[in-house]
A and B are shown apart, each in its own frame.
Chain A
Amino acid sequence: MKFMFIVKSAHAGPPPPKLLEAMHKLADREIKAGRMLDNGGLMPLAMGAQVRVVDGRLSVLDGPFVEAKEVIGGYAVFELRGKEEALASATEFMQLHKDLFPGWEGTCELRAFAPTGP
């Protein structure tokens, strides 16, 4: 089963080097274990834009977006055996934040990919 992990936080600014290092090691382990298929971090909202359809009309909104609270900072794609494994994996990832980034608050949302085919 494929899962996408989406990490969101209202916290601006880069993570401390110790956390970065730990996340890097965790990612390395997960890739070597054949579980993590892809991952990446996203640039701040100021670098992005939104294209919307509201009331049947298209509009383009350049970042940053003042109303945005939790912002997606990164994602990862995993091939896992099920939701339990995804939960265990996401918990380990968030434990690193808890230990190495005091004061940080955020969410790791895990979503299963929809199956393709008939």
Chain B
Amino acid sequence: MRAADAHRAILAVWRIEQPRLITSLARMLRDVPLAEELTQDALLAALERWPATGVPEKPGAWLMATAKHRALDHLRRSRMLERKHEMIAWDMEEEEQTMPDLDSALDDDIGDELLRLIFTACHPLLSREARAALALRMICGLTTEEIARAFLLPDATIAQRIVRAKRTLSESGLAYEIPHGDALSERLSSVLEVVYLIFNEGYAAARGQDWLRPQLCNEALRMGRVLTSIAPDEPEAHGLLALMELNASRTAARTDAAGEPILMLDQNRTLWDQFQIRRGMQALGRARELGGAGGFYALQAAIVACHSRAGTAGETDWSRIARLYAELAAVVRSPIIELNRAVAVSMAEGPVAGLAIVDCLMREPALKSYHLLPSVRGDLLRKLGRCDEARASFEAAAALAGNKREHDLLKRRAAEAADAAMSS
């Protein structure tokens, strides 16, 4: 086996074991950042040893024993030899006598510990970017280099982000805690926000680039599935999972062979992953059973579900989508949601009704430089045959568009509207 292959094989084994390693160590050390560091040490030990000896028969047990030795060494070295620590050290020496075996490893239900780990990694004290990096590192087992590649950032930036975040957690004394009651749902939203951020980062990446970027979608999906199994009573966790599964189901249809994006209504729906849609629908159903139909993520998932259910673009239930957008707008006041509602209303009731909403939004300062507003307006005006106004709207939109492809498209639409105005 080549060294690089051996390296990847070891990393694969380690990633399967990592959550259990890190939660076991965190329980001993009562410090997640430290536990994470010692878990990394166990990986380094495996990388050093296994290429020569081969992967041991029970790699999980080997890694656990190694990690626990490191933790014990650490406790011995540290001067905090209170009674509590003596007890732990004593327990661990007992444990040292016997190598943990695979059966007992499978007996560990690490659910609560894992939840604690996730809550620590996604602590609201940390910036969203730091939370995302820490979550990918501690929960998904990605290396610093992989996270950097996925976010198109230099290794050093991510490394520093992780070091700082861990220091913040350690210094604040928040390195090992699990919230309860009201604090739990509040803290959960900070976790879900990070998972969704990671998903969208991957979703925005076109295909054909470094596989690690689209891979972020899978990492987020995996975290979503972890959250729904260890916090099964939280409707928004199911809502977010539904939203991600349903959006990800369109991956194969989103770009053409040249990598150019294809708009949802033009996509070949036979390429949508029905297996994934079913999982999304199940998660949405669960969110509703738990009384969470009106949640931020569940509502967005319900909107996407309307598209997933439609066999053809023409069968889309736009009235329902418009109603769901209205509900969503009541949960979060956002002019962008309102703009989406305008599009849905125009599809359901015609361009006049949509335009009425869009015209109200023209006074919205937050959308002053948002190119999609004049773009949608131009589209509605064009449908109404008001071609001169449509041309002006498309021109305004083109001037605001951030990327060349969109700018060119809007210019073409402006020119088309101008031609139509001339010939009418």
A contact residues vs B (CB 8 Å cutoff): 22, 25-26, 29, 31-35, 37-38, 79, 81-82, 84-85, 87-89, 92, 95-96, 99, 115-118
Residues of B within 8 A of A38 (CB): 275
- For A35, what are the chain B residues with a Cβ–Cβ distance below 8 Å? 222
Among residues of B, the one whose C-beta sits closest to the C-beta of A84 is: B12
CB neighbours of B111 from chain A (8 A): 32
Q: How many A-B residue pairs have CB under 8 A?
A: 76
Q: Is the C-beta of B364 less than 8 angstroms from some C-beta in chain A?
A: no
B67 to chain A, nearest CB (A): 17
* B266: Cβ under 8 A from any A Cβ: no
A-side contacts of B273, CB under 8 Å: 116
Chain A nearest CB, measured from B55 CB (Å):
8
Q: Of residues 2 to 28 in B, which have CB atoms within 8 Å of A's CB atoms? A: 5, 8-9, 11-13, 15-16, 19
Known: A34-B225, A37-B275, A87-B12. 10 other contacts (CB 8 A): A29-B106, A31-B229, A32-B111, A33-B16, A33-B222, A34-B229, A81-B218, A85-B16, A88-B16, A118-B256
- A88 and B12 contact, CB distance less than 8 A: yes
A88 and B223 CA atoms in complex are apart in Å by 20
- Choose one: B8, B218, B222, B252; the contact of A84 (CB below 8 Å): B8
Contacts A/B (CB < 8 Å), 13 sampled: A22-B102, A32-B111, A33-B16, A34-B221, A35-B222, A37-B275, A81-B215, A84-B12, A88-B12, A88-B16, A95-B58, A115-B252, A116-B252
Name the B residues within 8 Å of A25 (CB-CB): 106-107
In angstroms, Cα B215 to Cα A57, docked, is 45
Contact B106–A26 (Cβ < 8 Å): yes
Option from A85, A96, A115, A117 in Cβ contact (under 8 Å) with B12: A85
* Given A81-B15, A84-B12, A88-B12: A34 touches B226 (CB 8 Å cut-off): yes
Evaluate contact between A96 and B225: CB separation under 8 angstroms: no
Q: Is the CB of A34 within 8 A of B223?
A: yes
Whether A85 touches B15, Cβ cut-off 8 Å, given contacts A95-B57, A117-B253, is: yes
Please measure, in the bound complex, the distance between the C-alpha atom of A92 and the C-alpha atom of B256, giving whole angstroms: 39
| Alpha-carbon separation in the docked complex, A37 to B230 (Å) | 16
Chain B interface size, under 10 / 10 to 19 / 20 to 34 / 35 or more = 35 or more
List B residues at the A interface (Cβ < 8 Å).
5, 8-9, 11-13, 15-16, 19, 57-60, 102-103, 106-107, 111, 215, 218, 221-226, 229-230, 251-253, 255-257, 271, 273, 275, 279
In the assembled complex, the Cα of A95 lies from the Cα of B225 at a distance in Å of 26
State A52–B7 Cα separation when bound (angstroms): 44
* Cβ–Cβ contact A82 & B252, under 8 A: no
B255 and A22 contact, CB distance less than 8 A: no
Complexed CA–CA distance, A73 and B221 (Å): 29
Given contacts A34-B225, A92-B60, contact A81 B12 (CB under 8 A): yes
A33 engages B226 (CB within 8 Å)? yes
Measured CB to CB, the closest approach of chain B to A64, in angstroms, equals 30
Residues of A within 8 A of B9 (CB): 84, 87-88
Question: In whole angstroms, what is the CA distance A99 to B58 when docked?
Answer: 11
The docked-state distance in angstroms from the alpha carbon of A84 to that of B4 is 12
CB distance from A1 to the nearest CB of B (A): 8
The residues of B that contact A115 with a CB separation of less than 8 Å are: 252
In the complex, A25 Cα to B253 Cα: how many Å?
A: 36
Listed from nearest, the 8 A-B pairs whose CB atoms lie closest are A117-B252, A34-B225, A34-B222, A84-B12, A118-B257, A25-B106, A116-B252, A85-B12
Chain B residues whose CB sits within 8 angstroms of the CB of A84 once the complex forms: 5, 8-9, 11-12
CA–CA, A31 and B19, complex, Å:
14
- Complex: how many Å from CA A22 to CA B253? 40
Q: Which residues of A contact B8 (CB under 8 A)?
A: 82, 84
Write out the residue numbers on chain A whose beta carbons fall within 8 Å of the beta carbon of B15.
81, 85
Q: How far is the CA of A22 from the CA of B104 in the complex (A)?
A: 10
Contact B271 A117, beta carbon cutoff 8 Å: yes
A32:B226 contact, CB within 8 angstroms:
yes
Decide if A92 touches B12 in the complex (CB within 8 Å).
Answer: no
In the assembled complex, the Cα of A88 lies from the Cα of B57 at a distance in Å of: 11
Question: What distance in Å separates the Cβ of B23 from its nearest Cβ neighbour in chain A?
Answer: 12
Taking a contact as CB atoms closer than 8 A, the residue among B11, B224, B251, B275 that contacts A117 in the complex is: B251
B222 touches A37 (CB 8 A): no
Give the distance in Å from the alpha carbon of A117 to the alpha carbon of B206 in the complex: 13
